[in-house]
Amino acid sequence: MNKSSYLILIITIITIPFLRFASALPEGFTNTVLVEDLAWPTRITLSPDGRIFILEQAGAIRIFKNGELNVTPFATVQTDQNIISNGETGLLGIALHPDFPDTPFVYVNYTVMSPIHQRVSRFTATGDVADNTGETILLDIDNGNCHCGGEIKFGPDRKLYVSTGDASWGENAQSMSSLRGKILRMNPVADQESQIPADNPFYNENSGKYRLIWAYGLRNPWSFTFQPGTGRMFINDVGTDKAEEINEGFAGKNYGWPGTEGSFDLGEYPEYIKPIHAYGRDVGTDLTGGEFYNPKTQNFPAEYVGKYFVVDYDYESWIRYLDPESPDNLTEFFPRIERGNYLDVKIGDNGYLYYITRTGRGTLSQVSYDNGPVDTVVIDTTGVDTTVVDTTVVDTTVVDTTVVDTTIVDTTVADTTDSLTALPFYAIESGYSPSIRQASISYRLHQDVIVQLVIYNQFGKKVTVLENKRQQKGPHTHRWDLPDNCNSGLYFIRLKTGNKTVQQKLLVLR
């Protein structure tokens, strides 16, 4: 960065309050804080089994699982403990093997002290902790404690890619005798000869570990990513005092630093790769994360598919996105929040956007789209009369709420592969009292968990959100005071905990 179905839920040890935002997300989106009080988080990565690995800068690898932050770290590396004064050192990058968890390898990129330099290592997972074989060192990178880069990811070719900054010495970025200011590409093995792919672009020109160089001319590529499906690579390079760059990654190419920063005239510098997008200090100062929205399961509306979401850490921190096919403009998605700056962003297989913030207490949060039923939720109204109740023929003074259907809704909206006892809650009970125009919704949680409780009308439009935060194990009751514009008719109560969703019908007579 710059120097300047059924019911049972799970809640963590403390209830997490909502963050307040300077302005809202786009309509229909919901932000949920998953974890607070992280110690200077730097990066997250998402496991196919639902776990989220979180890096804390002083060396701890944490795991968020089933709605909770595990107390015991997965592993802890020995790194710089003076992370406030040496702000760009510490535990910086993490990658999971492409076949994880079947192949249980976890790779990290961090700074080692005495002398200070970067290291790429591997751990072997046994459940939620590293096994007792300890750390396998794969690569030690040239000395430097500033402009470290730090990202580490597997590409679609199953090679391990590593970003390094120029260590505050611009000439390193152009030197083929330095691993600094580069993107490196390697086989993830410890043997120094076997780890160099024979098809690397400088394999025949360079010698030794410098044959790992895949691209060069970068200042501080804090992050990079690959687009699912296409394999297209974007590199986010933090600038000095002029511009932040989003570059498309190509083997063997030169990105111009220190000769250029930001956009430039290709006629003047034909040997360099021009950024697909660059922005100046009036927009942001630290481009630290980026991910393509191409999840396995789509949650966001169709117009977001294929877009590239980026975060800027400093200045007026924000999350924005651009269209890779027409990358001239960044569109605001999430403005700066009052507590904490955005540092990393990831897209889950479930179609949610996950991000971390830091500055004071670090947080992990998720953004989901909830404006009406999503693809994975089906409202089954088969055999139900969904016409509006005519109150002129209904005697609402004698409505008996015991006749309200309180059974679990049709399991077409739930994961039927799980048994009742495997889910985080007992069945919902609900009723409507016409005399006070209030609905009561109760459930009991088997464990602490994040709860989303939403009411939809019969046409699938969201009416209100009754709950969207962690709750503790035990009984819970919510009251819904119907506003004047809520007509009589059929409504749907949707309770979501993690990837489990149940719905129940609520008949309202007014």
Helix (H, G, I), strand (E, B) or coil at 304: helix
Range from 93-107, 151-165, 342-356, 453-467 carrying the lowest mean pLDDT: 453-467
Residue 184 lies in a domain: yes
Q: Are residue 17 and residue 137 in the same domain, yes or no?
A: no
Q: What pLDDT, in 10s, does the model give residues 27-61?
A: 999 999 999 889 999 999 999 999 999 999 999 99
Residue 337 lies in a domain: no
Please spell the DSSP secondary structure of 135-182, one letter per residue. Answer: -EEEEEEEE-SSS----EEE-TTS-EEEEE--TT-THHHH-TT--TTE
d(CA 345, CA 305): 16
Q: What is the mean pLDDT of residues 6-18?
A: 28
Residue 300 has pLDDT above 50, yes or no: yes
Q: Are residue 442 and residue 486 in the same domain, yes or no?
A: yes
Residue 239 has pLDDT above 50, yes or no: yes
pLDDT of residue 195: 97
According to DSSP, residue 380 is labeled -
Residue 114 lies in a domain: yes
Q: Are residue 22 and residue 132 in the same domain, yes or no?
A: no
Q: What is the mean pLDDT of residues 22-27?
A: 69
Q: Are residue 113 and residue 210 in the same domain, yes or no?
A: yes
CB 259 within 8 Å of CB 221: no
Q: In the predicted model, what is the mean pLDDT of the chain?
A: 81
Using the 3D structure, point to which of 283, 313, 330 is the last residue of a domain: 283
pLDDT of residue 357: 92
Split into its structural domains, the chain has a count of 2
Between 159 and 420, the more confident residue is 159
Residue 266 lies in a domain: yes
d(CA 67, CA 11): 6
Between 423 and 187, the more confident residue is 187
Q: Are residue 77 and residue 174 in the same domain, yes or no?
A: yes
Range of the domain at 391: 5-28+372-510
Residue 173 has pLDDT above 50, yes or no: yes
Q: Are residue 271 and residue 142 in the same domain, yes or no?
A: yes
Residue 69 lies in a domain: yes
Q: Are residue 408 and residue 495 in the same domain, yes or no?
A: yes
Between 66 and 415, the more confident residue is 66
CATH code for the domain in which residue 159 is found: 2.120.10.30
Residue 23 has pLDDT above 60, yes or no: no
Residue 417 has pLDDT above 80, yes or no: no
Amino acid at 68: E
Q: What is the mean pLDDT of residues 196-218?
A: 98
The total of other beta-carbon atoms located within 10 Å of residue 226's CB is 19
d(CA 151, CA 91): 10
pTM for the predicted model, two decimal places:
0.71
Q: What pLDDT, in 10s, does the model give residues 318-333?
A: 999 999 999 999 999 9
Residue 328 lies in a domain: no
pLDDT of residue 440: 79
CATH code for the domain in which residue 475 is found: 2.60.40.1930
pLDDT of residue 244: 97
Q: Are residue 21 and residue 131 in the same domain, yes or no?
A: no
Q: Are residue 240 and residue 101 in the same domain, yes or no?
A: yes
Q: Are residue 273 and residue 381 in the same domain, yes or no?
A: no
Q: What is the mean pLDDT of residues 87-110?
A: 95
Using the 3D structure, point to which of 283, 304, 324 is the last residue of a domain: 283
Using the 3D structure, point to which of 252, 283, 314 is the last residue of a domain: 283
pLDDT of residue 428: 62
Residue 325 lies in a domain: no
Residue 337 has pLDDT above 70, yes or no: no
Q: Are residue 22 and residue 48 in the same domain, yes or no?
A: no
Q: Are residue 77 and residue 115 in the same domain, yes or no?
A: yes
Q: What pLDDT, in 10s, does the model give residues 349-398?
A: 999 999 999 876 799 999 999 864 333 333 333 333 333 333 333 333 33
Residue 342 lies in a domain: no
